[in-house]
Structure 1
Amino acid sequence: MPNVPPPAALPGTPTKVTLPEGTSLFRVHASALAGAAFNPVPAGRLYGGGRFDATEDRPYTYLYAGLAPAAAVCESLLRSVPFAADGGPRLLPRTGIARKRCTFLRLATDVTVVSLMSGADLAAVGQDSWLVQAEAAEYPWTRNWGHWIRDRTEPWAQGFVWPSKREPADRVVILFGDRCATDTVTECEPAVDFGTPDGEDWLNTVLAPYHARLAP
Structure 2
Amino acid sequence: MTGLFPMTSLELHPVRHVIPAGTELWRVHNVRYAPHLFNPKLADPFEFKDGNRFDGTRLDPYHCLYLGDTPTTALAESVLRSRPFELPAGKRRIPYATVAGRCLSVLRTRCDLVLVSLIEAKDLAAVCQESTLLEDERNYVSARRWASEIRAQAPDVAGLIWQSRHNRPQRALVLFHDRFDGCGGEPLEVVAGAGIARLDSDAGIDLANRYLEPLRAEISRPRRDAGDRI
TM over 0.5: yes
User: How far has the Cα of 1:29 moved from its partner?
Assistant: 1.1
SS at 1:189 equivalent: coil
User: How far has the Cα of 1:71 moved from its partner?
Assistant: 1.0
TM normalised by structure 2 equals 0.86
- Matched with 1:132 is 134
The match for 1:61 among 60, 63, 69 is 63
Identity of aligned residues (%): 34
Q: Superposed, which structure 2 residues align to 1:41-190 within 5 Å?
A: 41-45=41-45, 46=47, 47-135=49-137, 137-154=138-155, 156-180=156-180, 181=183, 182-190=185-193
- Matched with 1:22 is 22
Could you tell me which amino acid in structure 2 is paired with residue 194 of structure 1?
A: L
User: How far has the Cα of 1:57 moved from its partner?
Assistant: 2.4
Cα displacement string for residues 5-53 of structure 1 (whole angstroms, at most 9, x for unaligned residues): x641324x21111110011110011112210001111112213211100
The answer for unaligned runs of 5 or more in structure 1 is 1-5
The answer for unaligned runs of 5 or more in structure 2 is 1-6, 222-230
Please tell me whether residue 9 in structure 1 is matched to residue 10 in structure 2. Answer: yes
Alpha carbons 2:43, 2:56 under 8 Å: kept: yes
Larger displacement relative to structure 2 (81-90 or 53-62): 81-90
Tell me the number of residue pairs that the alignment of Structure 1 and Structure 2 aligns: 209
Cα displacement string for residues 160-216 of structure 1 (whole angstroms, at most 9, x for unaligned residues): 110001111200111111002333101113341112222111111111111111123
- Matched with 1:3 is none
Structure ranking higher in strand proportion: 1
SS at 1:126 equivalent: coil
Q: Report the aligned-residue RMSD.
A: 1.6
For the residues of structure 2 that align with 1:75 and 1:195, how far apart are their CA atoms?
A: 17
Alpha carbons 1:26, 1:104 under 8 Å: kept: yes
TM normalised by structure 1 equals 0.92
SS at 2:41 equivalent: coil
Give the greater-gyration-radius structure (CA): 2
Could you tell me which amino acid in structure 2 is paired with residue 25 of structure 1?
A: L
Larger displacement relative to structure 2 (182-191 or 139-148): 182-191
- Matched with 2:199 is 194
Could you tell me which amino acid in structure 2 is paired with residue 113 of structure 1?
A: L
Alpha carbons 2:133, 2:139 under 8 Å: kept: no
- Matched with 1:38 is 38
SS at 1:63 equivalent: strand
Segments ≥4 residues shifted beyond 4 Å: none
SS at 2:174 equivalent: strand
Could you tell me which amino acid in structure 2 is paired with residue 48 of structure 1?
A: D
Could you tell me which amino acid in structure 1 is paired with residue 10 of structure 2?
A: A
SS at 2:191 equivalent: strand
